[in-house]
Amino acid sequence: MRLAISNIAWDTSEDEAIVMLLQRFGIDAIDIAPGKYFSEPAKAADEDILRVKNWWAERGIEITGMQALLFGTTGLNVFGSLEAQEAMLQHLTAVCRIGSGLGATRLVFGSPKNRDCSGLSDEESMDIAVDFFRRLGNIAQSFSVLICLEPNPSCYGANFMTSSAETARVVREVAHPSIRMQLDTGALSINGEDPEAVLREFSSLIGHIHASEPDLLPLGDGGAEHSQISAVLRQLLPDHVVSIEMLATQKEPHEVSIERALKVAIRYYRDDGTGARL
């Protein structure tokens, strides 16, 4: 399996140092939070998008995905007013354009607070979500990217798509080729879900994979069942990119925590354990 890591684990001022670390471990892919490079996605110029893509490509790193798609926005909710929904779709249109320009084809829709279905019945929330994500699917398809809906456990502040089964149901109801499901190992751990059962039932729906821990601790620090998960992934989704998702550490230098996480990822998600791609 090919490994990547999300740049939410470091500051952009550290990009050059992280490149050297990734090269040392044979990691040739990253996910990014678009807000780290484009504070106003709608105003991102094509040449600026290409500049970011080329900067990483010149150093042997491909940008394969994006997350934190709604970071910095306010008032946007899948279940909000028609105006709020439209504003959200306009913002995500800009994000999809950036993803397309970067070559980041997997866009992870997490954003637990932006899918607050409080006050709605299960039927009402499903109807609204299906309509919204079909419209978003059409937008994503026009830019040749995938939106991957991520299960967010309730402890992260979510009340919709909190488990793998709930998220899979939405993906199936939406029934759009550009709307897929995100697999998140930290969410599996928090929810107490059986990784093998989840993967065997929903592998055909999965568009992207995050190797993470509860509370987005450095990989290996939170008790997620990486050994079991990786064994099933090798059987069912061997060609997927597995991207490390962890927050930037506060009490440990980022390079140190990232190196520890890379070693854990290589141990579990690379069969040879040498750092070479399989």
pLDDT tens by residue, the chain, 278 residues: 999 999 999 999 999 999 999 999 999 999 999 999 999 999 999 999 999 999 999 999 999 999 999 998 999 999 999 999 999 999 999 999 999 999 999 999 999 999 999 999 999 999 999 999 999 999 999 999 999 999 999 999 999 999 999 999 999 999 999 999 999 999 999 999 999 999 999 999 999 999 999 999 999 999 899 999 999 999 999 999 999 999 999 999 999 999 999 999 999 998 654 433 33
User: How is residue 39 written in tokens?
Assistant: 């504070």
Q: How buried is 7 (Cβ within 10 angstroms: 0-12 exposed, 13-18 middle, 19+ buried)?
A: buried
Name the residue among 156, 63, 168, 62 with its Cα closest to residue 116: 156
What type of residue sits at position 60? G
| 243: CB partners within 8 A, 6+ apart | 3, 4, 5, 6, 29, 30, 31, 64, 65, 208, 209, 210, 211
Supply angle C-alpha 246, 247, 253, rounded to 5.
105
Give the H or E element holding residue 264.
helix 254-269
212 and 184 in contact (C-beta within 8 Å)? Answer: yes
Name the residue among 34, 102, 106 with its Cα closest to residue 72: 34
